A = this chain, B = another copy of it.
Amino acid sequence: MPSENKPAINGESFALGSERSVIREIFEYGNARAQLVGRENVYDFSLGNPAVPTPECINDAIKELVGDSSFNVHGYTSAQGALPVRESIADSIRGRFGVAASADNIYVTCGAAASLSVTLNAVCSKGDEVIAFAPFFPEYKVFAEGAGASFVTVLPDTDNFQINFDDLEKKLGAKTRAVIVNSPNNPSGAVLTKNTVLRLCAVLREFCQKTGNTVYLISDEPYRELVYDGKEVLYFPSYYENTIVCYSYSKSLSLAGERIGYIFVNPAVTASRDVYAAVCGAARKLGFVCAPSLMQYAIAKNPNAVSDISVYRQNRDMLYNALCSFGYDCVYPDGAFYLFVRSPIADAKEFCERARALDLLLVPSDSFGCKGFVRISYCVDGKMIERSLPLFKKLIESL
């Protein structure tokens, strides 16, 4: 705290606001750098800001909605989301996954971060522990601690980017309240296999039966639709009763800035109505009145729309093939839009510094709880990837 007198602000909030997230910091650096040397000379692979356009049907729905003077599209909705919107989402879940879902199980949110923060504030109390598997999205820690819980990490499986079950068994304990999974994974691009999913559910179920604890599986699914080569992403509510799905349309519909997603409290969750009530209360406490209304209705008109992800597949193939040919050691990504690359030198941060000197903006993996890698977001213009390839080559040759 820089002030010499008794600080009149919240120290934790100040620290979170001063440090900022590493990813956001690189993104801001990229914006500043672009003003100096021109946007076309900065190769910003830092942020998961979708490059593929939002589907036309969504923009058409927006234009139609604001053009309809008979409908108060900008008014408050119910806090949990307008009923027809929740019905549309529940229908889509039932139709796609065969899981019992009704409007009363859906809470529409301001995107994935809100979904997670609200869910953690709903189920966690002070002293509880929240487990995540490295590598993980670093804001999990912020949200878990914001909810008063301790954040516990399971060591990475750097061979296959599945789950290190030996370490999970060590970390599960009397204080465990929730386990966060994220498949397809940010930052590795890995998709959990059927074997992994079944084993994880069995481990959690056995632990809960043995101890009498309730452990929620929080499935963070912003990348569910972004999966390649026909890989299947299993739906956790079908395999583990106490599952809460945190969804976002940020990536599937390229709506990252609009903040729209939902929480699905599996009706099979123990005391599901109470958990849903706690979700309502947590959202209220944090200051979420309702999700943006225009986006709610636009989504409801197109419940199964997805951006054209073939662009991401092309980007993945171009980047993966080129970087491998230059000698980089890359994790083959089955989903999401991140390439996870082993740093050619021990210190990934230093490697990113050297990349930055060439205006290649990469994210070191340290903040993902897994040292020695870098994350390259390929949700960018393919032409930028093409132009960047000689620099990646130059970079590894310079080491």
Q: Is the CB of A258 within 8 A of B2?
A: no
Interface stretch of the complex, out of A268-276, A315-323, A385-393: A268-276
Q: Is the CB of A76 within 8 A of B10?
A: no
Interface stretch of the complex, out of A153-161, A183-191, A284-292: A284-292
Q: Is the CB of B277 within 8 A of A14?
A: yes
Q: Is the CB of B63 within 8 A of A76?
A: no
Q: How far is the CB of A19 from chain B (nearest CB, A)?
A: 8
- A13 at the binding interface (Cβ < 8 Å): yes
Contact with B along A171-197 (1 / 0, CB 8 A): 000000100000000000000000000
Query: Please, which residues of chain B bring their CB within 8 A of the CB of A139?
Result: 284
- A142 at the binding interface (Cβ < 8 Å): yes
A209–B39 CA distance with the chains assembled, in angstroms: 50
Interface stretch of the complex, out of A111-119, A224-232, A330-338, A347-355: A111-119
- A341 at the binding interface (Cβ < 8 Å): no
Which of B54, B76, B118, B124 is within 8 Å of A256, CB to CB? B76
Q: Is the CB of A10 within 8 A of B123?
A: yes
Q: Is the CB of A59 within 8 A of B66?
A: yes
Which of B75, B281, B288, B296 is within 8 Å of A15, CB to CB? B281
Given contacts A10-B124, A74-B255, contact A278 B17 (CB under 8 A): yes
- A42 at the binding interface (Cβ < 8 Å): no
Which of B17, B111, B292 is within 8 Å of A279, CB to CB? B17
Query: Please, which residues of chain B bring their CB within 8 A of the CB of A11?
Result: 125
Q: Is the CB of B13 within 8 A of A278?
A: yes
Query: Please, which residues of chain B bring their CB within 8 A of the CB of A295?
Result: 292, 294
Identify the closest chain B residue to A291 (Cβ).
Answer: B259
Query: Please, which residues of chain B bring their CB within 8 A of the CB of A124?
Result: 10
- A361 at the binding interface (Cβ < 8 Å): no
Q: Is the CB of A123 within 8 A of B28?
A: no
A96–B325 CA distance with the chains assembled, in angstroms: 60
Q: How far is the CB of A142 from chain B (nearest CB, A)?
A: 6
Q: How many residues of A contact B (CB 8 A)?
A: 96
Contact with B along A277-314 (1 / 0, CB 8 A): 11111111111111111111000000000000000000
Which of B20, B259, B271 is within 8 Å of A3, CB to CB? B271
Q: How far is the CB of A317 from chain B (nearest CB, A)?
A: 24
Given contacts A10-B121, A76-B47, A278-B14, contact A110 B288 (CB under 8 A): yes
- A214 at the binding interface (Cβ < 8 Å): yes
Which of B31, B121, B259, B290 is within 8 Å of A289, CB to CB? B259
Q: Is the CB of B143 within 8 A of A285?
A: yes
- A16 at the binding interface (Cβ < 8 Å): yes
A125–B11 CA distance with the chains assembled, in angstroms: 8
- A358 at the binding interface (Cβ < 8 Å): no
Given contacts A116-B287, A256-B75, contact A12 B294 (CB under 8 A): no
User: Can you show 23 pairs from A to B with CB atoms below 8 A apart?
Assistant: A3-B270, A9-B271, A9-B275, A10-B125, A10-B147, A12-B285, A13-B122, A14-B274, A14-B278, A15-B281, A17-B278, A17-B279, A28-B78, A31-B78, A63-B63, A74-B254, A113-B289, A114-B288, A117-B287, A142-B285, A257-B290, A286-B286, A294-B294
Binding site for B on A (CB under 8 A): 1-3, 5, 7-18, 20-21, 24, 27-28, 31, 47, 49-50, 53-54, 59, 62-63, 66-67, 69, 72-79, 110-111, 113-118, 121-125, 139, 142-143, 145-147, 177, 212-214, 216, 254-259, 270-271, 274-296
